[in-house]
Amino acid sequence: MKRRGTIGLAAVTAAAALILAACGSSSTKTSTSSGSFNSAVTGVVSPSTHKGGTLTFGNSSTPDSTDPGNTYYAFMWNFVRLYTMPLMTYKSCPGACGLQVVPDLATAPGVAGDHGLTWTYHIKPNVKFEDGTTVTSADVKYAVERTYDRTVLPNGPSYFPVLLTDPKYPGPFKNRSKNMMGLTAITTPDPTTIVFHLQHPFADFNYVAAIPQTAPVPPSKDTGTKYQLHPMSTGPYKFASYQLNKQITLVPNTNWNPATDPNAKQLASKVVVNLNMNANDIDNRLIHGDLTVDMPGTGVQAAARARILSSSSLKAQSDDPISGFLWFAYINTKVAPLNNVHCRMAIEYAANKTNLQTAYGGPFAGGAVASTVAPPNVLGYKKFDLYEATSKPGGDVAKAKSELTACGQPSGFTTGVAYRSDRPKEVSAAQALQAALAPAGIHVTLHGYPAGTYYSDFAGVPKYVHAHKLGILFGGWAADWPDGYGFFDEITNGNAIVPAGNTNISELNDPVVNKLLEQMAGTQNATARNAFTSKIDLQVMKDAVILPEVYAKSLLYRSPALSNVYVQTYYGMYNYAALGLK
Amino acid sequence: MFAFIIRRLIATVLLLIVVSMITFAIFFLVPRLAGQNSYQLASQYVGRNPTRSAILQVEQRLGLNAPIYLQYGRFLRGIVVGAHFNSGTSTAYCPPPCFGYSFKNQQPVWPMMISDVPVTASLAAGAAILWLSGGVAIGVVSALRRGTLFDRFSMGVALAGVSLPIFFTGLISLALFSYKWPIFPNVQYVEITQNPLLWARNLVLPWITLAFLYAALYARLTRAGMLETMSEDYIRTARAKGLPERTVIVKHGLRAALTPIVTIFGMDLGLLLGGAVLTENTFGLHGLGQFTIQAIQQQDLPEILGVTMLAAFFIVVANLVVDILYAVVDPRVRH
């Protein structure tokens, strides 16, 4: 009995050792690797014109919609270029080049007229839908006007009703015979010309025209809420099938003309998107070679990150681009004593940027310590550091105390900090900030709120913020287009303060900032317009209404099976419209 | 028996109504107790930085500004007689049982849900066969060989099976048998009608992972039950009469020990048919479990209501079947 027991124990131990050994080693099914760490951030990895193969995307959730008129996710604005051509798009190239807005369906950038109150585009005459019918300006007009009806298409941005004349247009779905093509703010004098009529001059309109909402939709093929199941393609691929929330399959669009669409490629024979996958499983399949792209493009999970960064071969297959997001904290100007700029400056000096960076995931997964509000990929960005964020990232308690004396609070003060309690990184950041401010005498009480209602019910409701004395509120921001106006307007313009869903959570109403934004909106020349970015940034930082924390980064794994891989700087992820397979 | 079944079916309908009322109440009343109004609720279904007009339109489309009793009434009516929905360019009829249109996807809930049932049913059925046959067999052998190495080892493994969470065992099994040694590569659901062999091959890992958890429990339950019944006087009598040992164990011992097994099997299978949430999420299977997670994450009331009621239905029906099976297993119940 004793001998059998010993043998049994030995067998179990051996089996356990085998399993542990297997778990400790890695195995990947890869072809020859190419490129090195971050090589896709500044250049194209594995350039090739090879055709064939299946591009397989994995997504841990689902798109808000595949209807180009009804989506607001960054990865969808990237992905829709596989099957749509908006009027404008971002140039398909790595580095800063990828921030340029260039014509897509349009023959050239829009021409402003009538003192900036009209924008005229001409569309390419030989672009066809997947069924062979030619795209006309009326299809573009219809594409825009259908987005006005939020009862059918609730998700996309609201720029057109805000910028164009005729904001009360109900959309073409209600009383269709009367309202279809009834948006007077857009006129189509001929089949290849489209004119947008604005309420006020808006120099950034080319960026608005790059939103997927301008991708043409033939009225006769519009099925309203069902259109997402099969949008009519003008891009290199078309929908073969869409099992809602499960799988999307795209096949080559035989009516796509590459000469009309230089910013997209038709290299793969098929594109498959698997939805609602386990996030860790996506990373494992990517590394193993069963998947080629992680669709959300926000980086690998913690387990895969540790594995990649500890392996030289895997790290050579990864990129760590700036995503375009800034993680930061608003400092509210109405909650006493933060209505005094010196009290706000005290927070800027006291914050420990290194600990905040660690809270967000460290230099690779969190991002680079930020000293400005505008991230480096915003046009017109200039580096400066008013509060020693990069020279003394651990914080400067002495200077903080000096500012407290200047604001009449030499012993410090107490205020509330709001954050999203279901975001672990933000929870850690709030705790790190609490710990950093305490030595300076600034005592904060933590208030966590659910992310889903954070802006609609709490941080974005000024009345609530005042009543609960929330002086510091965590948040994040990425602009819908990469220039200073797109980044700053919603979060710093005094006119943007609203009673609910407020995005100017600092409640900054600085006439200097407001004036700079107004001037920027009316400046047609791109170089002159971009020069405003750093001026606005500097003034906002002088007002100390935002505590920049990190320029967010994402650690992306680049499958060795891919060709033409590079980070499209505007999206902060790989350019999906350019990918092929080796 | 027929009258019994009819009574239970009527009770099922009443129970489902109560479940729907409770789910409705939780979804609407709890946020209102926290001060949320319908405008704020609608703002969650509009997208980023919406205008006030956009939120109001969505509030109207979803019917969130109507009184709760009216919203509930519309919902119940849809289940019984169906409803009409406007997709923008046309009006579609949603036949009964119509659980409404998804707030997020703006598609009918019922077809989305039903398309996920085969995945969950495949997962549950396969795992059930494995855990029932494996668990009971191991429990019987352990009970008959009480105190031996087999007994100790199997009960130790059973303890591990009950203790280890599925998202751990599932990920380990994927790491070993899908990536390290690609015996079961690229696990994803394939319809049985499309390719039965691939259907089975892709489900082996999820089956074993799920069955490992339940088999452990059933092994311990069976062992306990067998130990009790095999020590009864009638077992000694059966042996004294000269019956073959196999007959004594199966017909007299196991059969008596099966009653609690049948009870718990009904509950477990019913719960699983409502969605094996962790297993489906770990292996990326688009069943009712994944549907549930998504519905909750998106706070999509029609989907939450639909899957809750479907899950409740499965549990109730499973319990009804169990009660009927009692009469088969235990003849005393028939009289």
- How many Å apart are CA A578 and CA A377, to the nearest integer? 21
Q: How far is A159 from chain B (nearest CA, A)?
A: 10
- Give the closest-approach CA distance of A27 to chain B in angstroms: 6
- Of A318, A315, A364, the closest CA to residue A562 belongs to A318
CB pairs < 8 Å spanning A and B = 145
Residues 208-237 of B with CB under 8 A from A: none
Region for B47 from its dihedrals, namely left if φ exceeds 0, alpha if ψ lies in -120 to 50, beta otherwise: left
**Which pair of tokens denotes residue A277?**
């996958």
**Least Cα separation, residue A456 to chain B (angstroms):** 6
The residue written with tokens 């921030």 in the block is A99
Residues A331 and A472: beta-carbon distance below 8 Å: yes
Is residue B43 less than 8 Å (CB to CB) from chain A?
Answer: yes
Nearest neighbour of B286 by CB, restricted to A156, A246, A498 = A246
Tokens of B70: 């009216």
Query: From the CA atom positions of chain A, what is the Rg in Å?
Result: 26
Say which DSSP state B299 is in.
T
Query: Under an 8 A CB cutoff, do B185 and A290 touch?
Result: yes
pTM: 0.86
Name the residue in chain B with its Cα closest to that of A4: B149
Residues of chain A with pLDDT under 50: 1-8, 10-32
- A72, B57: Cβ pair inside 8 Å? no
From first to last of its 335 residues, chain B has per-residue pLDDT tens of: 788 778 878 888 888 888 888 888 888 777 777 777 888 778 777 776 677 787 888 888 888 888 888 888 888 898 889 988 888 888 888 888 888 888 888 888 999 999 999 999 999 999 999 999 999 999 989 988 888 898 888 888 888 888 888 888 898 998 899 988 888 888 889 999 999 999 999 999 999 999 988 888 899 889 988 888 888 888 888 888 888 888 888 777 787 788 888 888 888 988 888 778 889 988 989 999 999 988 888 888 889 988 998 888 888 888 888 887 776 666 666 55
Cβ-Cβ contacts under 8 Å for A233 (sequence gap 6 or more): A83, A84, A129, A130, A239, A253, A256
The nearest alpha carbon in chain B to A8 belongs to B149
User: A22–B180: do the CB atoms touch at under 8 Å?
Assistant: yes
* B115 token code pair: 């398309």
A26 → chain B, closest CA residue: B180
At B55 the pLDDT is: 83
- Which residues on chain A are in Cβ contact (under 8 Å) with B106? 152, 225
Q: Are A519 and A532 in contact (CB under 8 A)?
A: yes
Q: What is the CA radius of gyration of chain B?
A: 25
- A277 to B106: CB separation less than 8 angstroms, yes or no: no
The whole-angstrom distance between residue A230's C-alpha and the CA centroid of its chain comes to: 25
Give the separation between CA A574 and CA A580, rounded to whole angstroms: 12
Q: What is the pLDDT of residue A15?
A: 47
Asked if B172 and A23 come within 8 Å (Cβ–Cβ), the reply is: yes
List, as ranges, residues 240-259 from B with C-beta within 8 Å of A: none
Phi, psi of A66 (to 5 degrees): -95, 0
Place of tokens 């400066």: A384
Q: Two tokens at A34?
A: 């190419």
Name which of A29, A224, A288 is nearest B88 (Cβ-Cβ): A224
Residues of B in contact with A285 (CB under 8 A): 186
Burial class (CB in 10 A: 0-12, 13-18, 19+), A17: exposed
Compute the distance between CA of residue B85 and CA of residue B103 in angstroms, rounded to an integer.
12
Distance CA A87, CA A261 (A): 11
Q: Which two tokens stand for residue B167?
A: 């998202």
- Determine whether the interchain pair A500/B40 forms a contact, defined as Cβ–Cβ distance below 8 Å: yes
Are residues B188 and A274, on separate chains, in Cβ contact within 8 Å?
A: yes
> Quick one: closest CA in A to B285, which residue?
A277
Minimal-distance CA residue of chain B relative to A11: B153
- Please give the Cα distance from A450 to B40 (Å, whole number): 13
Phi, psi torsion values for B331, nearest 5 degrees = -60, -25
Instruction: Name the helix (H) or strand (E) containing A282.
Output: helix A279-288
The answer to whether B148 contacts chain A (CB < 8 Å) is: no
Residue whose entry in the numeric block shows the structure tokens 């930020």:
A370
Q: How far apart are the two ends of chain B, measured CA to CA in Å?
A: 11
End-to-end CA distance of chain A: 60
Nearest to A77 by CA among A572, A581, A580: A572
Asked if B175's CB is within 8 angstroms of A284's CB, the reply is yes
For residue A130, the 8-state DSSP code is T
CB within 8 Å of chain A, chain B residues 261-290: 281-284, 286, 290
CB contact under 8 A, B112 and A244: yes
Q: Are B295 and B23 in contact (CB under 8 A)?
A: no
* Of residues B87, B176, B283, nearest to A224 (C-beta): B87
Tokens of B22: 């409770």
Query: What CA–CA distances, in Å, run from B290 to A95, B278, B295?
Result: 38, 9, 9
Look up residue B159 and give its two tokens: 């303890």
Residue B321's alpha-carbon distances to A403, B159, B263, B318, in angstroms, are 74, 29, 10, 5
B197 touches chain A (CB under 8 A): no
Cβ-based contacts of A501 with chain B (< 8 Å): 43, 49-50, 52, 55
Number of H helices, E strands in chain A: 20, 23
Which residues lie across from A164 on neighbouring strands? A198
Contact A158 B299 (CB under 8 A): no
Q: Which two tokens stand for residue B244?
A: 């073959």
Interface membership of B174 toward A (CB under 8 Å):
yes
Report the run of H or E that residue A552 belongs to, with start and end. strand A546-553
Q: Where are the beta strands (DSSP E) in chain B?
A: 83-86, 91-94
Number of H helices, E strands in chain B: 14, 2
Q: Using an 8 Å CB-CB cutoff, list chain A residues near B57.
A: 149-151, 154
Check CB contact under 8 Å for A155 and B47. Answer: yes
Judge if ipTM > 0.85: no
Q: How far apart are CA A249 and CA A266, in angstroms?
A: 15
Q: Alpha-carbon distance B330 to B260, whole Å?
A: 11
**In this complex, is the C-beta atom of B182 within 8 Å of any C-beta atom belonging to chain A?**
yes
CA nearest to A168, candidates B46, B62, B53, B56 = B53
β-bridge partners, A187: A195
- The token pair that represents A278 in the structure block: 């386990």
d(CA B9, CA B284): 34
Contacts of A388 (CB under 8 A, 6+ apart): A349, A396, A399
Distance between CA atoms of residues B320 and B313, nearest Å: 11
**Partner residue opposite A453 with nearest CB, options B44, B45, B88:** B44
